[in-house]
Chains A and B, each alone.
Chain A
Amino acid sequence: MKKKAVNDNYDALIIGAGISGLYAAIKLHDNLTTKRNKANIAIITKVHPLRSNSIIDSNGINAVLNPKDNLKFFQYDTIKAGDFLSDQDKVDELTKASKNIVEDLEKMGLIFYKNKENKIDQRPYGGKAFLTQKDYSGATFPRICYTSDHTGKDILYFLYGAALRRNIEIKELFVADLITNESQCVGVTTYDIKTGDIKSLHSYATILATGGIGAMYKNTTNSQINTADGIMMAHRAGADLMDVEFVSFHPTTLINSNLEIDAGFRGEGAVLLNRRNERFMSKYSKKRMDEASDIIIARAIQNEIDHKRGIDEENYVYLDLSTMQTKLVNNLVKKIVPENQKLKVHPSQDLFLGGIKTDINGRTSLKGLYAVGECACSGVHGAYYLEGNGILEALFASQKASENILDFIRDTDNIKAMPDENDENKFRNYFNSFMENNQGTSWGKIKNQLKNIMTGNVGIFKDKKDLEKALKEIRSLKSNFNKIGIKDKSKVFNTELIEVLQLKNMLDLADLMIVSSIVRDESRGSHFRKEHSERRDIKFLKHLVIHPDKKLELKDISLGNIRPEKMRY
């Protein structure tokens, strides 16, 4: 093997620089750095860390801090929110660790919002404008710790500062693929967007923290950088995926900007109206009306839109703020959301609940590869998620993974060299093939078709016929993929090439998501099949695992004391 320069060898590489990537890197750095040696780790990210998708989170972190609260309540809330598909042993661990994680962040210097007793304030629901203390989340106790109405962003900036303080190496590179040697992940092949250079980096352990899949949908609260890169590169390298049929939708986001207008507004009296100016929620939830849970609201709005009762028969309804009883306090929200107005809202893809199958320590089924955050599926969330558990789970997994990596790299048996053959040339040729295709198919067209198919057929409502049609269409798009040609031949900032590489990942995942959606012939959490609008626990109280050879397998979940009960939303 050609000897690599020292600076291309790492103890650990972290792909992605959102909250989970940064936290994992910080923990690894603190544990690996000794008086003599600095930890030999690096973060690789395709965008600047402060552009990560973590900024969109407005909720906060769940933690059991109040003596009146109880771990058991928290566990029950989490499992119920996930429609009982959560692995209960993992939920136990997560909930127990919640206090530590919040305290660790506070010790590091993060400023949480405080209550009158100068303790960390906890609210029942995340969201904007410090609007409300009413409970819409269905949680049994207010336990979301927050810093402001943009907690995700605050934590991201805070952790980036912590990474700067530790001088952790951050490389802005696009990861094209993982490198494996004898079924172990030993590094990554990177593409430098700024210069067009292709380079392989060797690492003993690799953490994927690449986030979700938002860009696959026409409307998403996510950043458009969420293109399923990490999920698909792990799958290509030989890792299992799990539960990819579960995609959550935020019920009310502004059209076009897809900014979340959270349940707080409805809780304070804002009402949903359709084309006929009806308060249509009365049809779907007689009791709770516009305060029904997000899942029900999303389905209701989508149903109105599907039946041409959207405003002007377009794909949105009104959220009327004129009936609100409370005044907005946050100026920024006021600027975006003028008072007493009818907002045009529709549901948008929000959190991806499936992903790379991991155990409690963030380990994937591929040796040497870890996954944390939204790209991973540890089985904690189940079929939907509890408000405030997203960041908590991401931080928890990062912490666990970094601890596990310490043991992993200390055992020299685990350390493998790079394979003899180098993939750099293969990628160079692959990239060039698109540029040489002068009269090729348009990637933009394929991308938009993908978004339409996913939004139309693999969205809030699914049924077998639509899914099968969608699968056929996606496969025909996939067969056209190699014919794609790109106009930009430049090596400097060839964003067109990046778009194409991301598109490949999204198309491949779309295929798997549709196949999984067809197999899961029931309705559970965020997955709703029209033919079977009820849960079918006997057959489907199971995780759906996709092996690298595309074989699907239903695997038992780990059940604990909490038995599945009928959901009443």
Chain B
Amino acid sequence: MAIIKISRYNPESKKVSVDSYEIDVTEDITILDVLLKIKEELDGSLTFEYGCKSGLDGSDGINVNKRPVLASQTNVMKVMNDYKSDEILIGPLSNFPVVKDLIVDKSSLWNSYASIKPYLIEKKLKKNEKQNEITKDIIHKISKINDCNMCGLCNSSCDVLKVDNEFIGPAILAMSYKQILDPRDGELKTRIKSSVNNGLWKCSQFMSCNDVCPRDIDPSFAISDMRIIDVKNKFSSHGPKYINSAAKEFRNKGRISNFANNKSSIKNSQQIPIIYDSVEEGENLKKKKLPCYYKDHEDYAEGYFKWKRNINLRKRENLWNQANLKKVLK
């Protein structure tokens, strides 16, 4: 037996409420099954989006216990075990305006997808110039991002989007990266520049997008790589500026300003995780000077573990090429 608490929103009466349902669950049942059961048998007015049950189409993103997931890919028993509670909170995705019950308005996501021109704009070839060949390596890289199903979970989890709605979000940045990878494309400069305008350097590399991604897209890698391209080609002045200022602060004060408490602090300290990586004594930071991600105490701890995990994750995957970084820091 699971107690499903669903946050409801009625757009016509503007009423917000939480409805509670007791549902018998079996081993293989998913959150989507539960929602469908409620809609079909108990309350037809419960509104949510769903498509295929295999999680391929990404329409069924919701928050389960405040964590963005795909309803069809989330096992109820597992959630109950993980959180050691029969109670499951279900709500709409964060960082999107709520339209009705669990449906959010994803038009911002679709519009920004259209705005990055997600199609090949072929390079104008000079005489005797040959079109660049696509290597297998590139096909695999592109194919990895093609796995993205635009579910928007990464945007929902993004801490920068929470405070800065001019930031375009990890999903779309990853999609821009895909276009940049294509060697036949002639718009590298425009694409990087528009990415910079869309907030390429605003990302704080918390990698919560990677954590929630159901398809292992790794948007934060896409962002890092685009930053390297930006710095290498000197398309914008953001890169060196941010890295230098953060590095300077670190050298002088032995610490770096806090994150995410307000807009301006975000803008000033976006490159901190890179600095953490570049400084070996990241361990020393751990106790004294934690980055303060969240206002709430409980979330603070969660933020800390996330941060620690991410440091490890980054080390393992070697997302930032150390050599490149040293060059930049000089």
Contacts and interface: CB of A to CB of B under 8 A. Distances in A.
Interface stretch (B44-52, B255-263, B267-275): B44-52
Which residue, of A53, A158, A332, A444, has the highest number of chain B Cβ atoms within 10 A?
A: A444
Given A164-B118, A445-B40, A493-B99, A258 B110 contact: no
23 contacts: A47-B59, A48-B106, A53-B57, A56-B52, A109-B122, A111-B134, A113-B139, A150-B56, A150-B147, A153-B146, A153-B149, A161-B118, A223-B57, A224-B53, A254-B54, A255-B28, A259-B55, A260-B54, A487-B43, A487-B45, A493-B99, A496-B44, A499-B44
A256 B57 contact: no
B39 A444 contact: yes
A189 interface: no
A331 B133 CA distance: 26
Contacts of B119: 109, 158, 161-162, 164-165
A472 to B, nearest CB: 23
A448 B40 contact: yes
A50 interface: yes
Contacts of B40: 442-445, 447-448
A539 interface: no
Given A111-B139, A488-B45, A496-B44, A153 B56 contact: yes
Given A164-B117, A335-B216, 13 more contacts: A53-B57, A109-B122, A148-B139, A148-B143, A157-B118, A161-B119, A164-B114, A256-B33, A257-B72, A442-B41, A487-B45, A492-B99, A493-B47
B100 interface: yes
A91 to B, nearest CB: 30
A486 B44 contact: yes
A222 interface: yes
Contacts of B11: 490, 492-493
Interface in B23-68: 28-30, 33, 39-41, 43-45, 47-59
B134 A114 contact: yes
Interface string A203-235: 000000000000000000111110000000000
A19 to B, nearest CB: 14
B146 A154 contact: yes
A51 B139 CA distance: 23
A109 B184 contact: yes
B146 A157 contact: yes
A258 B53 contact: yes
A445 B41 CA distance: 7
Contacts, number: 148
B73 interface: yes
Given A162-B119, A224-B51, A56 B56 contact: yes
A254 B72 CA distance: 13
A332 B100 contact: no
Contacts of A162: 119
Interface residues of A, number: 59
A380 to B, nearest CB: 25
Interface in B67-90: 72-73
A16 to B, nearest CB: 14
A557 B30 CA distance: 45
Interface of B: 10-12, 28-30, 33, 39-41, 43-45, 47-59, 72-73, 99-100, 103, 106, 110, 114, 117-120, 122, 133-134, 136, 139, 142-143, 146-147, 149-150, 182, 184, 215-216
A389 interface: no
Is chain B's interface secondary structure helix, strand, loop, or mixed overall? loop
Given A157-B146, A486-B44, A490-B11, A332 B215 contact: yes
A335 B55 CA distance: 13
A20 interface: no
Nearest to A253: B54
A161 B53 CA distance: 25
Nearest to A225: B51
Contacts of B52: 53, 55-56, 221-224, 258
A53 B53 CA distance: 11
Given A111-B139, A118-B133, A256 B59 contact: no
Nearest to A219: B53
Contacts of A530: none
B146 A259 contact: no
Which residue, of B10, B12, B49, B53, has the highest number of chain A Cβ atoms within 10 A?
A: B53
A491 interface: yes
A59 interface: no
Contacts of B134: 111, 114
A150 B55 CA distance: 13
A495 interface: yes
Contact of B45 (A160, A443, A496): A496
Nearest to A157: B146
B129 to A, nearest CB: 18
A496 B30 CA distance: 21
A255 B30 CA distance: 11
A147 interface: yes
B10 A256 contact: no
A565 to B, nearest CB: 37
Interface in A25-48: 47-48
Contacts of A118: 133
Given A111-B134, A331-B216, A490 B44 contact: no
Contact of A493 (B39, B100, B120, B146): B100
Nearest to B184: A109
Given A113-B139, A161-B118, A259 B54 contact: yes
A551 B280 CA distance: 79
Contact of A444 (B10, B44, B143): B44
Contacts of A52: 57
A153 B144 CA distance: 12
A495 B57 CA distance: 18
Interface in A171-217: 194
Nearest to B150: A50
